[in-house]
Amino acid sequence: MIPYGQHTISSTDAIRVAWQVRFHTLTQGKQIAKFEEEVANFVGARYAVAVSSATAGLHIAMLALRLPANAQVITTPISFVATANSITYCGLRPVFADIDPNSLTLDLEAARKKISEDSEIKAMITVHYGGLPDDSEQLKQLRSSTGIHVIEDAAHSFGASYSTGEIVGSCKNSDMTVFSFHPVKSITTGEGGVVTTNDEELYRILLRLRSHGINKLETKLSNPFAGETNGQMNPWYYEMLDLGFNYRLTEIQAVLGRSQLSRVDSFIEARREIASFYTEELKSFENVSTAQKVDTSHSAHHLFPVRIAFGRIAQSRYDIIKTLKNLGIGTQVHYIPIPLHPYYAERGHPLVELPHAIEYYEQALSIPIFPNLRKSGQRKVLKALKNVVG
């Protein structure tokens, strides 16, 4: 069975993890700080904060902005529900703008129009769909013209770069960037993620929110009478300044992440080669086409989405997915539009304003892509797809 995505674990990864488990700390040790430093250096950001998942990262990133209660945050409907959930967790209201039909990322012009029409929109979460970043210059102009806070949901795009050359995560045009290290992503820590930023104040807030809201970095104590003896901080003392969470990464995960990070360039190169092969071969298909109709050479290619012209074939998407599975090909649909889920539909998010998102969802299918997918496997995927769809 060829899955749509799969982790790539080497014997070196396994040995390093086993060594950490056998001889070193399991949590709250030195490996996390080293991993954070290496991630920050890789993407070109000042700070990185490792967390237990990208969802946790999105949650504390939203909290760190300190937005007023019930403020609105604009985002895309084509994403995993965690994107909108992180807004809702914070007592804020998600607002959806349509996607660009060619890139499948948030239509930044549609977002800019909504922001200009509604003063309650205070922030935006962009999503680098499939590993493809937003247009950097357009995002820069939107941010400078509106003054809005920007969080990049880069769960798909670790290792990608913007069209202007900067690595995703450098936060040149955003307040924070959030990555996922789930097993099917560019690199993995099992579960886990990282938030990057160039803002020292946000960095300090993120560190506190990650670990129960406890002050670890501050040099000035709120209660020095309790925390100091003769001007020196008591070694047992700590202060809770925020209502935080237990969103810490473990040392075991950090070791795996560091080992994976050393090979991220080869992982991304492999994904790009597969995507290039698929793109060229699909030109001869009558009823299947690549979904992203823009330059994707700088994408991390977490996904390879295609569009299927169901109106021209006799089979449903259910039939096609089932038949491909029987042929040993795993596929998936990314994603059900968030406003289509009952929880959000009941809260008044009209689909009529999102025609491109709905059209894409009705045609979407993600086919297998991961670094260890050999050429024979790639040909098998395309042959099965051609036989099934035509």
Q: What is the pLDDT of residues 56-94, one digit of tens each?
A: 999 999 999 999 999 999 999 999 999 999 999 999 999
Question: Torsions phi, psi of 93, nearest 5?
Answer: -120, 120
pLDDT tens-digit map of 121-154: 999 999 999 999 999 999 999 999 999 999 999 9
pLDDT of residue 231: 85
pLDDT tens-digit map of 234-268: 888 999 999 999 999 999 999 999 999 999 999 99
Structure token digits, residue 14: 């396994």
Average pLDDT over residues 289-316: 96
C-alpha to C-alpha distance for 21 and 102, rounded to whole angstroms: 46
> Is the whole-model pTM more than 0.85?
yes
pLDDT of residue 222: 87
Environment class of residue 11 by beta-carbon count within 10 Å: exposed (0-12), middle (13-18) or buried (19+)? exposed
| Cis peptide bond N-terminal to 335, omega within 30 | yes
**Band of the pLDDT at 118, cuts 50, 70, 90?**
very high
Q: What is the DSSP string of 276-300?
A: HHHHHHHTT-SSEEES--S--TT--
Q: Is the pLDDT of residue 232 over 90?
A: no
pLDDT of residue 40: 98
pLDDT of residue 303: 98
Average confidence score pLDDT of the chain:
96
Average pLDDT over residues 340-354: 94
- 3-class SS of residue 55: helix
pLDDT of residue 390: 78
The answer to whether 281 and 383 have CB atoms below 8 angstroms apart is no
Average pLDDT over residues 156-176: 96
**Span of 100-109, 231-240, 257-266, 311-320 with lowest mean pLDDT:** 231-240
Q: Where are the domains of the chain?
A: 11-261, 264-389
Strand pairing report for 228-229 and 232-233: antiparallel
pLDDT of residue 218: 66
Other CB atoms within 10 A of residue 38 CB: 16
Look up tokens 């993120």; give the residue.
Answer: 206
When comparing pLDDT for 16 and 219, which is higher? 16
Q: Is the pLDDT of residue 200 over 80?
A: yes
The reply to whether CATH 3.40.640.10 applies to domain 11-261 is: yes
DSSP alpha helices (H): ranges in the chain?
11-23, 30-43, 54-64, 82-89, 108-117, 136-146, 200-210, 224-227, 251-261, 264-282, 317-326, 342-345, 355-363, 375-389
Average pLDDT over residues 356-374: 98
Question: Torsions phi, psi of 170, nearest 5?
Answer: -70, -15
CATH topology of domain 264-389: Aspartate Aminotransferase, domain 1 (3.90.1150)
C-alpha to C-alpha distance for 306 and 147, rounded to whole angstroms: 35
**Band of the pLDDT at 5, cuts 50, 70, 90?**
very high
C-alpha to C-alpha distance for 100 and 94, rounded to whole angstroms: 19
pLDDT of residue 219: 67
